[in-house]
């Protein structure tokens, strides 16, 4: 996308609103976005990607905007984070030509996790196990000092579209 990008973080609850002219008008009327590639970032977008027999009809609206004429007009690009496995994606999402890429972030070997932890804290990571997710490393780093995150981190690694 280059340097000419206007990022917009969109709550997943508003993704279905993209098909409404009012929402697109608000996004495209912003002078800061004129002449730029519009990058929508939607976190925890499982409901936008999962098979329709389990998800809402928001998938159709979402795909019409992202992959349709409106998306082309506003030069729209989208990043959606999810914890779904690719097998759980709606087939319309994964059809050829629709996605640029699917990135899967697996747990880091201890050596890599320790480098990240050292970069963040200046200290060594205790070797409590052989692999750490990136989320775990950052949670440990935040808990190390005066960080605000104090809840346990689960053992999964997520995917990013």
The pLDDT tens digits for 51-85 are 876 545 667 777 777 776 666 666 778 889 888 88
Question: Would you state the pLDDT for residue 57?
Answer: 62
Question: Would you state the pLDDT for residue 155?
Answer: 45
Question: Would you state the pLDDT for residue 111?
Answer: 97
Closest by CA position to 17, among listed 79, 73, 62: 62
Cβ neighbourhood burial of 143 (10 Å; 0-12, 13-18, 19+):
middle
Provide the phi-psi class of 84: left if phi over 0, else alpha when psi is between -120 and 50, else beta.
beta
- Paired tokens of 4: 């000419």
pTM: 0.66
Residue 131 has pLDDT above 80, yes or no: yes
Pairing of strands 76-82, 37-42: parallel
Closest by CA position to 109, among listed 157, 142, 160, 159: 157
Residue 158 has pLDDT above 50, yes or no: no
Task: Note the pLDDT tens digit of each residue in 78-112.
Answer: 889 888 888 898 888 888 878 788 888 889 999 99
Task: Note the pLDDT tens digit of each residue in 13-54.
Answer: 887 777 677 776 776 677 777 778 888 888 888 888 888 765
């Amino acid at each position: 996308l280059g340097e000419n990008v206007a990022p917009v973080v969109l709550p997943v609850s508003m993704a279905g609103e993209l098909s409404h002219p009012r929402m697109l008008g608000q996004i495209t009327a912003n002078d800061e976005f004129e002449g730029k590639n519009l990058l929508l970032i939607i976190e925890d977008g499982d409901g936008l990607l999962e098979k329709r027999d389990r998800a809402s009809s928001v998938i159709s609206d979402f795909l019409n905007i992202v992959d349709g004429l409106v998306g082309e007009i506003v030069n729209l690009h989208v990043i959606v984070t999810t914890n779904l496995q690719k097998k759980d994606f709606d087939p319309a999402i994964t059809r050829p030509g629709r996605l640029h890429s699917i990135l899967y972030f697996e747990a880091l070997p201890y050596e890599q996790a320790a480098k990240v932890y050292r970069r963040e804290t200046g200290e060594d990571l205790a070797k409590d196990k052989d692999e750490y997710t990136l989320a775990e490393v950052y949670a440990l780093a935040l808990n190390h000092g005066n960080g605000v995150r104090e809840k346990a981190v689960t053992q999964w690694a997520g995917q990013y579209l």
